[in-house]
Amino acid sequence: MTKTTKIPKATITRLSIYYRQIELLEFDGYRMVSSEKLAWLCQVNSAQVRKDLGYFGEFGVRGVGYDVIDLQAQIKKILAVNRDWNLAIAGIGNLGSAFMEHQNLVTRGFKCMAAFDNDPRKIGEITPSGLKIKDISELDQTIDELNIEIGVITTPPSAAQAVADLFIDSQVNAILNFSPTRIHVPDCCMVENIDFTVRLDILTYKLHHEIRI
């Protein structure tokens, strides 16, 4: 991959899906996998698999396939999940609490290091994972102390922008936003918006049209 190559966002999304399927293949005892089988597992075509991986180099052997362990390591390196990432989460309601307790976070190297809220009834409580919920006013100091690299927003929509501003002012330039509103950030900041209603719209569209086929 050259420095000028722009990788489509959809390719990065599929790489993550490939990685999870390859993990399962290794667990099931597979040592090699063809592009056709990987494509079938991920519900894409084999040409797409080869094209996506081709952005980053040559990983397989023609007529043989991909070494499962080697490809898994290569994709981890590409996605930069071959190291730990420190997270802080703001908004410890039902969604925020569920996110913190997600078992796959730790196994994939995402470490929830701090939790924040502005509700006096929650501040000072200990979460099931052992984190003490801090006042949102302590965010800046805590970010610096714990080397937080990713901020997670699970607040109500009305608070999302203010929390995003706090993260950015604290030099956290990567934000995962679960709040159902778009936040405005400078060009230096990267945001991934997770809106469940959008996914439901897609699901109902597919369901509606499949019924009429």
- Asked whether residue 40 falls in the same domain as residue 118, the answer is no
Are 98 and 165 within one domain? Answer: yes
- 59 assigned to some structural domain: yes
pLDDT of residue 60: 80
Q: What is the pLDDT of residues 148-161, one digit of tens each?
A: 999 999 999 999 99
Same domain, 58 and 25: yes
> What DSSP element (H or E) covers 87?
strand 85-90
Residue 61 — pLDDT band, cuts 50, 70, 90?
A: confident
Tell whether 192 and 106 lie within a shared domain: yes
In a domain, 124, yes or no: yes
Q: Do 152 and 171 belong together in one domain? A: yes
Instruction: Flag whether 93 is in a domain.
Output: yes
For 28-41, the pLDDT digits (tens) are 999 999 999 999 99
Using CB atoms within 10 A of its CB, is residue 175 exposed (0-12), middle (13-18) or buried (19+)?
buried
Residues 130, 63, single domain; the answer is no
**Helix 139-146 vs helix 157-169: angle between axes, to the nearest 10 degrees?**
50
pTM: 0.86
The domain total for the chain is 2
Domain range for 181? 85-197
Exposure class string for 38-74: b at 16+ Cβ within 10 A, else e: bbebbebeeeebeebbebbeebbeeeebbbbeebbeb
For residue 2, tell me if it sits in a domain. Answer: no
* 20 and 108 share one domain: no
